[in-house]
Amino acid sequence: MKVIILAVSCLLAVSGALAADTCYQDVSLDCGQASNSLAFRRNSLPRCNAVYGEYGRHGNVATELQAYANLHLERSYEYLLSAAYFNNYQTNRAGFSKLFKKLSDEAWEKTIDIIKHVTMRGDEMNFDQRSTMKVERKNYTVELHELEALAKALDTQKEIAERAFYIHREATRNSQHLHDPEVAQYLEEEFIEDQSKKIRELAGHTTDLKKFITSNHGQDLSLALYLFDEYLQKVA
Amino acid sequence: MKAILLALAGLLAVCLPASATQFYYEVDGKDITGVALWGVQDRPVKEPGAPYRYLPTEAGHRFGFSHVNPVTIPKEWVTMHRNCRMSVRQQIQMEVTASLQYLAMGAHFSKDVARESVKLLLTNNVPTPALLAGAPASAASVSFRFSIPFRCSATFRCSIPFRCSESFHCSVPFRCFVNRPGFAKMFFDAASEEREHAMKLIEYLLMRGELTTDVTTLLQVRAPERKTWEGGVEALEHALLMESAVTKSIRNVIKACEDDSEFNDYHLVDYLTGDFLEEQYKGQRDIAGKASTLKKLLDRHGALGEFIFDKKLIGIDI
Q: What is the CATH number of the domain that holds A209?
A: 1.20.1260.10
What is d(CA A220, CA A226) in angstroms, rounded to the nearest whole number?
10
| Count of the separate structural domains present in chain A | 2
**A161 interfacial to chain B (CB closer than 8 Å):** no
The answer on whether B81 is annotated among ligand-binding residues is no
Q: What pLDDT, on the 0 to 100 scale, is given for residue A145?
A: 93
Q: In this predicted model, which residue has the larger pLDDT, A31 or B201? A: B201
Q: Are residues A93 and A186 in the same domain?
A: yes
Q: Encode pLDDT of B193-229 as tens digits.
A: 999 999 999 999 999 999 999 999 999 999 999 999 9
pLDDT surpassing 80 at residue B280: yes
Predicted TM-score (pTM) of the model is 0.77
Q: Are residues A28 and A104 in the same domain?
A: no
pLDDT surpassing 80 at residue A137: no
Asked if residue A12 belongs to a domain, the reply is: yes
Q: Are residues A83 and A6 in the same domain?
A: no
Q: Encode pLDDT of A146-166 as tens digits.
A: 999 999 999 999 999 999 999
Quick one: which of A233, A76, A211 has its CA closest to A147? A211
Check CB contact under 8 Å for B107 and A125: yes
Residue B121, H or E segment: strand B116-122
Q: Are residues A104 and A214 in the same domain?
A: yes
What is d(CA A31, CA A61) in angstroms, rounded to the nearest whole number?
37
The minimum CA-CA distance between B58 and chain A, rounded to whole Å, is 10
pLDDT surpassing 50 at residue A59: yes
The minimum CA-CA distance between A144 and chain B, rounded to whole Å, is 9
Q: What pLDDT, on the 0 to 100 scale, is given for residue A203?
A: 97
Q: Are residues A34 and A67 in the same domain?
A: no
Query: Which A positions 19-38 lie with beta carbon below 8 A of chain B?
Result: none
Q: Are residues A133 and A193 in the same domain?
A: yes
Check CB contact under 8 Å for B111 and A124: yes
Q: In this structure, which long-range contacts are made by residues A26-32, counting pairs with CB atoms below 8 Å and at least 24 apart in sequence?
A: A31/A6
The minimum CA-CA distance between A25 and chain B, rounded to whole Å, is 17
Q: What pLDDT, on the 0 to 100 scale, is given for residue B257?
A: 96
Q: In this predicted model, which residue has the larger pLDDT, B66 or A153? A: A153
Q: Are residues A36 and A132 in the same domain?
A: no
**A141 interfacial to chain B (CB closer than 8 Å):** yes
Q: Are residues A108 and A224 in the same domain?
A: yes
- Domain that residue A93 falls in: 61-235
Q: Encode pLDDT of B79-106 as tens digits.
A: 999 999 999 999 999 999 999 999 999 9
Q: Which domains does chain B have, with CATH numbers?
A: 2-62 (no CATH), 82-110+179-313 (1.20.1260.10), 116-172 (no CATH)
Distances (CA, A) of B224 to B90, B155, B235, B245, B289: 17, 15, 14, 16, 25
Q: What pLDDT, on the 0 to 100 scale, is given for residue B116?
A: 53
Q: Are A168 and A110 in contact (CB under 8 A)?
A: no
Q: Which residues of B touch A151 (CB under 8 A)?
A: 23-24
Quick one: which of A100, A157, A96, A73 has its CA closest to B96? A73
**A174 interfacial to chain B (CB closer than 8 Å):** no
The minimum CA-CA distance between A126 and chain B, rounded to whole Å, is 9
Q: Are residues A188 and A83 in the same domain?
A: yes
Q: Which residues of B touch A147 (CB under 8 A)?
A: 24, 66-67
Least confident of A124-138, A169-183, B118-132, B294-308: B118-132
Q: Encode pLDDT of B141-160 as tens digits.
A: 322 332 333 333 333 333 33
**A111 interfacial to chain B (CB closer than 8 Å):** yes
Asked if residue A104 belongs to a domain, the reply is: yes
Q: Are A182 and A121 in contact (CB under 8 A)?
A: yes
Q: Encode pLDDT of A94-136 as tens digits.
A: 999 999 999 999 999 999 999 999 999 999 999 999 999 877 7
Amino acid at A105: D
Asked if residue A156 belongs to a domain, the reply is: yes
Q: Are residues A157 and A85 in the same domain?
A: yes
Q: What pLDDT, on the 0 to 100 scale, is given for residue B138?
A: 40
Tell me, what DSSP letter sits at residue B167? Answer: E
Check CB contact under 8 Å for B216 and A214: no
Tell me, what DSSP letter sits at residue B233? Answer: H
Check CB contact under 8 Å for B36 and A214: yes
What is d(CA B104, CA A128) in angstroms, rounded to the nearest whole number?
11
Q: Are A77 and B219 in contact (CB under 8 A)?
A: yes
For chains A and B, count residue pairs whose Cβ atoms are closer than 8 Å. 151
Q: In this structure, which long-range contacts are made by residues B165-168, counting pairs with CB atoms below 8 Å and at least 24 apart in sequence?
A: B165/B122, B165/B123, B165/B124, B166/B121, B166/B122, B166/B123, B166/B124, B167/B119, B167/B120, B167/B121, B167/B122, B168/B119, B168/B120, B168/B141
Percent above pLDDT 70 for chain B: 60
Check CB contact under 8 Å for B227 and A155: no
